[in-house]
Structure 1
Amino acid sequence: MSDELYAAIDLGANSFHLVIMRRHDSNLVTVDGYREIVRLASGINPEHHQLRPEARRRALRCLNDIRQRLAQHSVQKVRVVGTSAFRTLRQNADFIKDAEQALGLPIEIVTGEEEARLIYLGATWGLPQSNRLVVDIGGGSTEIIIGHGGTTELAVSLDVGSASLSAAYFQANRITQAHLNKAREHVRRLLTKAIPAEQVPSSDLVAVGSSGTAKSLSWVMRSLHLSNGDITRSGLERVSPLLWQVQNIDQLSQVLNLNVRRTHVFPGGYAIMSEVFAYLNVEHMTISGRALREGMIVEMLQSA
């Protein structure tokens, strides 16, 4: 086992994450981790891309907490990545400066395509060689990657995520069939633009889901005895009527046995995943416990 520690900090649209790892043979071993829901994307004023004061406070407080957590370890290398919300806030120089000061580290704002590449690297690390489709639904963007082994052949980033779609179509704390259909139609338009019909992969790909929405759906599938934890198209179809039968989104925690912290972004994430399954002809998806942060660490290890 290597004693060298590597840290990856992922500043997402809905939550901020820190993971500290070391390499053990061909595996990555987690030494410490930290996660906080900051709802950064929902705190951005869409008219002028400025952060509302309460969202700014949440973000800076969390970054300071991550800085203190990181200081408890002797980490050799650290990489900090800002994703979709930071891409939106790129021109907000005051916030970026304050965020870097609170964290004590520079923040690398990556493109959607770079985010997708790193996600694929992390999600497929240590897996057997095969043709794969990796789907990562974040709070503010969705990354879809097709590749073989560790090589990506197609990587796209859709400007929609579980938090942003939920905010756009389920604002009244209600889920109706009409709203769900409209949300899916929006996702379909983005998919057809990013991946034309002639580029839709054949069905021989091994589909892998990563990050919060995939994990939440996996939990729901298992809790409702729809699968052993894998996401299936038939399972998604059986979940749909449960969504628009609840009186309000808060009730999803009871109906789906879902973590209450995930309920308000679940409808958007569900709509995205359902449309991805339909458009890309996916029937079955396994879940990866690795994604962007692990990809960042794998790349640091490869360049060491």
Structure 2
Amino acid sequence: MLHAIIDIGSNTIRMAVYQISGRSFTLLMKRKHTVGLAAYLDRGHLTRAGIEQTVGILGGFMDFIGTFAIPHVHAFATAALRTAENRRAVTEEIARRTGVQVRIISGSEEAAYGFIGATAHLTHPDGVMIDIGGGSTEIIAYEHRAMRGRWSLPLGSLALSKAHVAGLLPTAAECAAIRAAVEGILAGVPDVRALRAKYMVGMGGVLSSASRMHRLLHPEGAVRHFPAAALGGMIAVYGSGRPLTEDETAVLLRAAPDRLHTIIPGLIIAHVLAETFGAADIQYSDSGVREGYIWKEIVGGETRDGGTPAKEPP
């Protein structure tokens, strides 16, 4: 059966179509709109402009779904709508105007879905997994491939960019302000500050872009793996405020074309977390929240301790 999964995030709104048969599923196609929904929050409310953007995109998705008679549609929203005080009115308007029934998932659910989705790609049995979004960062500590703790922190690449960056790329002073903001949030979460892990698994657009950036800068390196220390070098180059060289610009445009204004704030979040955990190695995982949602809510596979799939997704 064909299933469309719609993910309304703080930075992007995505639709992916999967063919699901029994306990296996295959990604057929995906579409993405970089909206920056978190930037449309004003005094805790999603603005009319943000609502119209969302309704327009979801209406287009539903036209596509109708054209191909895709029978099953699942839609969930994360931090931007989760934190909006008018979220109920927004989801009701979306349902009325587009027919899309949006489920707002909690930060804990988001972290759990991400862990389930990425389990098949865990190289090491112990570590910390992070998913840096536009409005929040999900953190999971795992041991022996089982979840041992999960946290959702109000640290988002788009939110930090909006709060601290005047231009497209931050200056050194703005990077320092972002770092101070991240450290300030972590100061209030002693359980997270106490985590220690040599290996860190990254999901989402920020770590995907970081992985591509490192590969472009160091083509001899491993695919999807890079040293955590490399984050500091990337931030130093692209968060210095100085004019970039042609080669530096080419790398940035190839690695992060859809998130030029949020990539450096996101890298700073990752860098502070890696330093806090004592992480030496970062691995990027392609699978994440959508795949975890399929396993937990559609396939209905039995799970081991902490939500790890009993069978690995294909």
Q: How does 1:256-271 map to 2 (within 5 A)?
A: 256-257=252-253, 258-271=255-268
Q: Is the 1:66–1:103 contact (alpha carbons within 8 Å) kept by the matching residues of 2?
A: no
User: Could you tell me how far 1:193 is from its partner in structure 2?
Assistant: 2.4
Counterpart in the other structure of 2:9? 12
Aligned: 1:37 with 2:30:
no
User: Could you tell me how far 1:223 is from its partner in structure 2?
Assistant: 1.1
Q: Which runs of 5 or more residues in structure 1 are unaligned? A: none
Aligned amino acid, residue 62 of structure 1? I
Matches of 2:243 and 2:53 in 1, distance apart?
26
Counterpart in the other structure of 2:306? none
1:146 aligned counterpart, secondary structure: strand
Q: Is the 2:17–2:28 contact (alpha carbons within 8 Å) kept by the matching residues of 1?
A: yes
Aligned: 1:188 with 2:183:
yes
User: Could you tell me how far 1:25 is from its partner in structure 2?
Assistant: 8.6
Aligned amino acid, residue 264 of structure 1? H
Quick one: structure 1 residues 248 and 11, their matched pair in 2 at CA, closer, same or farther if it must change by over 3 Å? Answer: farther
Matches of 1:128 and 1:56 in 2, distance apart?
40
Counterpart in the other structure of 1:301? 299
- Over aligned residues, Cα RMSD in angstroms? 2.7
Matches of 2:280 and 2:142 in 1, distance apart?
18
Q: How does 1:1-304 map to 2 (within 5 A)?
A: 4-23=1-20, 28-45=25-42, 47=43, 49-75=44-70, 77-125=72-120, 127=122, 130-148=125-143, 151-196=146-191, 199-203=194-198, 206-225=199-218, 227-228=221-222, 229-247=224-242, 253-254=249-250, 256-257=252-253, 258-299=255-296, 300-302=298-300
Comparing 22-31 with 266-275, greater Cα deviation is found at 22-31
Matches of 2:178 and 2:148 in 1, distance apart?
28
Matches of 2:16 and 2:162 in 1, distance apart?
28
Comparing 223-232 with 281-290, greater Cα deviation is found at 223-232
User: Could you tell me how far 1:244 is from its partner in structure 2?
Assistant: 3.0
User: Could you tell me how far 1:180 is from its partner in structure 2?
Assistant: 1.1
Matches of 1:25 and 1:65 in 2, distance apart?
29
Percent of residue pairs bearing the same amino acid type: 23
User: Could you tell me how far 1:214 is from its partner in structure 2?
Assistant: 0.6
User: Could you tell me how far 1:10 is from its partner in structure 2?
Assistant: 1.0
Aligned amino acid, residue 41 of structure 1? A
Quick one: structure 1 residues 279 and 126, their matched pair in 2 at CA, closer, same or farther if it must change by over 3 Å? Answer: closer
Matches of 1:106 and 1:289 in 2, distance apart?
26
User: Could you tell me how far 1:164 is from its partner in structure 2?
Assistant: 0.6
- How many residue pairs get aligned? The number is 296
Aligned amino acid, residue 163 of structure 1? L
Comparing 6-15 with 101-110, greater Cα deviation is found at 101-110
Q: TM-score, normalised by structure 2?
A: 0.84
Matches of 1:163 and 1:286 in 2, distance apart?
22
Quick one: structure 1 residues 72 and 31, their matched pair in 2 at CA, closer, same or farther if it must change by over 3 Å? Answer: farther
User: Could you tell me how far 1:60 is from its partner in structure 2?
Assistant: 0.9
Q: Is the 2:129–2:139 contact (alpha carbons within 8 Å) kept by the matching residues of 1?
A: yes
Matches of 2:155 and 2:276 in 1, distance apart?
16
Matches of 2:45 and 2:118 in 1, distance apart?
33
Quick one: structure 1 residues 163 and 146, their matched pair in 2 at CA, closer, same or farther if it must change by over 3 Å? Answer: same
Aligned amino acid, residue 250 of structure 2? Q
Q: Which runs of 5 or more residues in structure 2 are unaligned? A: 303-314
Comparing 15-24 with 137-146, greater Cα deviation is found at 15-24
User: Could you tell me how far 1:147 is from its partner in structure 2?
Assistant: 2.0
Quick one: structure 1 residues 151 and 22, their matched pair in 2 at CA, closer, same or farther if it must change by over 3 Å? Answer: farther
Q: TM-score, normalised by structure 1?
A: 0.87
Matches of 1:198 and 1:168 in 2, distance apart?
24
Matches of 1:198 and 1:56 in 2, distance apart?
36
